[in-house]
Structure 1
Amino acid sequence: MAGTHLDPADPAALELIRRGRLEVEGRLVDASNVTLFCAVELDGMTANAVYKPVPGERPLWDFPDGTLAGREVATYLIAEAAELVNVPPTVLRAGPFGEGMVQLWVETRDDELVDICAPDEVPEGWRVVLHAHDRLGEPAVLVHADRPGMRELAVLDIVVNNTDRKGGHVLAAENGRIYGVDHGICLHTDPKLRTVLWGWVGEPLPGEVLDKLRKLRWAIDHELGEALAPHLTRVEVAALSKRTDTLLSDGVFPAPADDWRAIPWPLF
């Protein structure tokens, strides 16, 4: 069964991955946890999806075993509740190798959003995150695009305390939108933000982003909090509320903390 392209913004996509029949077609071997590429079919509609079974999660010292799939779903629910940024439709459901996270596959354009280049080759309008040297000792910079959706993704990472926002997790989709993927190690209670999207440190949060954060904060105390309960502990939900409150109070993009490596490795 070969999947066809389905726009992640299509309302039918969520129902398709929630109820559709999964057929594993391959494995994404670069992923640290078992990550399977699937076709999914429901009532004649087909698409591709990523399936991460809970039994295939690699144990981590700082995250409870068997919780990564739920954290991916929780991040999707948070993004949707706030209308903050685009995360592909994501559910927790049964699959061929047990319960796991299923997420619609995003078809991408050949359009880089995060890159490493020489200091004099930074694309116009891009943000510089880090100055370094390459393996030959030549100057290099880590940069990312500054376009609609990128700032919102950076804010989502702050809210969900994303400890692994690599450049390869920022996708330019065929529908023209920017999507964030791979949110398994998010929503810890301790500060662990690690991301390549540091290009706006100290700048004011846009008004529309503040409005979305207010909407998120209200939702946490109401229907979103209930939806998160199967995936997060009460303490983790409380920490989510506190991070949102801090962003609203400060009103600016925060700077990296001094006691935590703020950029993931590898970068992509």
Structure 2
Amino acid sequence: MGEREELLAKGELTVVGRIREASNAVLLCTVTYGDLSAECVYKPVKGERPLWDFPDGNLAQREVAAYLVSEATGWGLVPPTVLREGPYGEGMVQQWIESGPDEDEPGETDDSGGTSGSGLLALVEGEEAGEGWKPVALADVGEGRTALLVHADDPWLRRLAVLDAVINNGDRKGGHLLLAPDGRLYAIDHGVTFHSEDKLRTLLWGWAGEPLTEEARGVLASLVVQLADGAPLATRLAELITPVELAAVRARVAQLLRAGVHPQPSGQWPAIPWPPV
């Protein structure tokens, strides 16, 4: 367990307020452990809204599972996340990420080739995404007009698209993408993940059908090993999701490797979450 995870898991939680925009109970807290302290988000299981297609009371476990898979990829896309007891019972506790543009202009490219600032999603006129952008879909913007929804052609977003395919993310909205002041990308809100049926809904369809990068193929091959029976990741995931769901994760990773391309919408499930932001 790393220092941040230990702080989140063992520290004293103090509720500061509630984030009212969220559909489930999301509490902003401070956590203190020895000389360490930080802001965090606490989502108690008791505050989860029932969903017709997910069992009651286990969204918090899925959030932790998503973090574990993210860490297994080596990409660190999900903030440190633990499952623990809190003031309102068991829940998910996740490091708070202060988002906001750095000193670069939105959409400027940083040293790693990614998009810094806040230029991750946009609506553009016409039917061409333009250089540095990937098209997603036409959006109704009112008064009979449409605009093209695009996302940045960014290597970190592309890694996230692969992660979302692995964990079967059914709710990748724009508001779930956070850019830290240093330009690092984080992704949050992973309660609607790991379903055994295909439920991938995302705004990151821009690479659909395109070949996976060599890096992504290497990560997926590593996940095959880490998801094998008896491996530490598989053992931990088995405590958080069902055996059928764990088998589905393995199958998705294997299918991605066989196909060698980013997945495309299945047509059996809405491809884009609503509302998209």
Tell me which interval the TM-score lies in, with the shorter structure as reference length: over 0.9
Instruction: Output the CA distance in 1 between the equivalents of 2:75 and 2:82.
Output: 18
- Among 206, 211, 214, the alignment partner of 2:213 is 206
**Higher mean C-alpha deviation, range 235-244 or range 84-93:** 84-93
Instruction: Output the CA distance in 2 between the equivalents of 1:194 and 1:175.
Output: 28
Shift of 1:145: 1.1
Q: Which residue of 2 aligns with 1:6?
A: none
SS at match of 1:134: strand
Q: Which residue of 1 aligns with 2:268?
A: 259
Q: Which residue of 1 aligns with 2:115?
A: none
Residue by residue over 1:76-114, the C-alpha shift from the partner in whole angstroms, topping out at 9 and shown as x without a partner, is 001111214410000000101000000001111231412
What amino acid is the match of 2:153?
A: D
What amino acid is the match of 1:240?
A: V
Q: Which residue of 1 aligns with 2:253?
A: 244
**Higher mean C-alpha deviation, range 222-231 or range 117-126:** 117-126
What amino acid is the match of 2:239?
A: P
SS at match of 2:39: strand
- Among 16, 33, 44, the alignment partner of 1:42 is 33
Asked if 1:215 is matched to 2:241, the reply is no
Q: Which residue of 1 aligns with 2:66?
A: 75
TM-score with structure 2 length normalisation? Answer: 0.89
Q: Which residue of 1 aligns with 2:94?
A: 103
Shift of 1:121: 9.1
Q: Which residue of 2 aligns with 1:159?
A: 166
- Among 182, 185, 198, the alignment partner of 1:178 is 185
Q: Which runs of 5+ in 2 are unaligned?
A: 102-117
Shift of 1:44: 2.1
Contact 1:115–1:167, Cα closer than 8 Å, also in 2: no
Residue by residue over 1:194-228, the C-alpha shift from the partner in whole angstroms, topping out at 9 and shown as x without a partner, is 00000001111000111011111110111111011
Q: Which residue of 2 aligns with 1:228?
A: 237
SS at match of 1:186: coil
Instruction: Output the CA distance in 2 between the equivalents of 1:62 and 1:18.
Output: 29
Q: Which residue of 1 aligns with 2:114?
A: none
Instruction: Output the CA distance in 2 between the equivalents of 1:85 and 1:169.
Output: 15
Residue by residue over 1:91-147, the C-alpha shift from the partner in whole angstroms, topping out at 9 and shown as x without a partner, is 000101000000001111231412333338956401110013311222211111122
Residues 53-92 of structure 1 correspond to what in structure 2 (within 5 A)?
53-92=44-83
Q: Which runs of 5+ in 1 are unaligned?
A: 1-10
SS at match of 2:8: helix
What amino acid is the match of 1:232?
A: I
TM-score with structure 1 length normalisation? Answer: 0.92
**Higher mean C-alpha deviation, range 252-261 or range 237-246:** 252-261
Q: Which residue of 2 aligns with 1:143?
A: 150
Are residues 28 and 203 of structure 1, via their aligned partners in 2, closer, same or farther at CA, if it must alter by over 3 Å? same
Name the count of aligned residue pairs.
Answer: 258
Q: Which residue of 2 aligns with 1:5?
A: none
Instruction: Output the CA distance in 2 between the equivalents of 1:45 and 1:125.
Output: 40
Instruction: Output the CA distance in 2 between the equivalents of 1:158 and 1:85.
Output: 16
Aligned Cα RMSD in Å? 1.5
Q: Which residue of 2 aligns with 1:51?
A: 42
What amino acid is the match of 1:161?
A: N
Instruction: Output the CA distance in 2 between the equivalents of 1:159 and 1:92.
Output: 21
SS at match of 1:253: coil
What amino acid is the match of 1:57?
A: E
Instruction: Output the CA distance in 2 between the equivalents of 1:172 and 1:100.
Output: 25
- The runs of at least 4 aligned residues of structure 1 exceeding 4 Å deviation read 120-123
